[in-house]
Amino acid sequence: DVKVTQSSRYLVKRTGEKVFLECVQDMDHENMFWYRQDPGLGLRLIYFSYDVKMKEKGDIPEGYSVSREKKERFSLILESASTNQTSMYLCATSPEAWDGYTFGSGTRLTVV
Amino acid sequence: SQQGEEDPQALSIQEGENATMNCSYKTSINNLQWYRQNSGRGLVHLILIRSNEREKHSGRLRVTLDTSKKSSSLLITASRAADTASYFCATADSWGKLQFGAGTQVVVTP
């Protein structure tokens, strides 16, 4: 089974800090995604990547950036954390476009 | 933007009963997928139905798709307490990206 590992389960950061959320997959999946999940809003796509060095904006990229230097690792960066970025962050992968996704366990980030 | 909208938002049933939830979407799709999320965890892929399929089964799950009505339903038969979770539908756009709905929260009581 594909395993998608998110480095932290819970994280508390201060406003203005630069925050790195790491996601690592142990299979050879091309596609990786970052979503945030908020009550009543479902999952919203922040950024995605279909290849190493490639990144594309999702629906809500403002305040975020990403890095994909290696195929197995996709990092989400909050350049200057704000309280409205308090959320559950979910990383997902898929082997091909339109395939089912495998999700990590999520990182619950609180910005104070 | 949310593509899929689940209905109802919440569902409470007893063990052994069937649970049905619906999903409506707005634009044409390549496929539609259903996911389950246990409290505070990541989502788990349950089933994928392609736009040219009308019905699909997987264990106690039955999914239907009506592309003319832009709707899908997920039926869980003979529910168990372990089925307590949130269920999400997701539609794949032309680029293969998934758009998720807000989910249906299902509680199964013993």
pLDDT digits (tens, 9 = 90+) for B4-62: 788 899 999 999 999 999 999 998 888 999 999 998 889 999 999 999 999 999 999 99
Peptide bond before B8: cis, by omega within 30 degrees of 0? Answer: yes
Q: Please state, for a pLDDT cut of 70, what percent of chain A lies above it.
A: 98
Please tell me the distance from the alpha carbon of residue A49 to that of residue A34, in angstroms, as a whole number.
9
Kindly determine whether residue B95 and residue A104, on different chains, have CB atoms separated by under 8 Å. Answer: no
pLDDT confidence of residue B3: 66
Q: Which residues contact A99 (CB under 8 A, 6 or more apart)?
A: B48, B96
In the predicted model, what is the mean pLDDT of residues A52-68? 94
Q: Which two tokens stand for residue B36?
A: 């389950």
Candidate from B31, B44, B101 with C-beta closest to A42: B101
| 3-state SS class at B89 | strand
Q: Residue B104's Cα: distance from chain center in Å?
A: 8
Chain A residue with Cα closest to B94: A98
Candidate from A42, A92, A104 with C-beta closest to B2: A42
Which run of H or of E encompasses A102? strand A102-103
pLDDT score of B92 more than 50: yes
Residues B74, A29: contact at Cβ < 8 Å?
no
- Nearest chain A Cα distance for residue B48, angstroms: 7
Indicate the average pLDDT of chain A: 94
Kindly determine whether residue A41 and residue B33, on different chains, have CB atoms separated by under 8 Å. Answer: no
pLDDT score of B80 more than 50: yes
Q: Which two tokens stand for residue B18?
A: 């069937």
pLDDT score of B1 more than 70: no
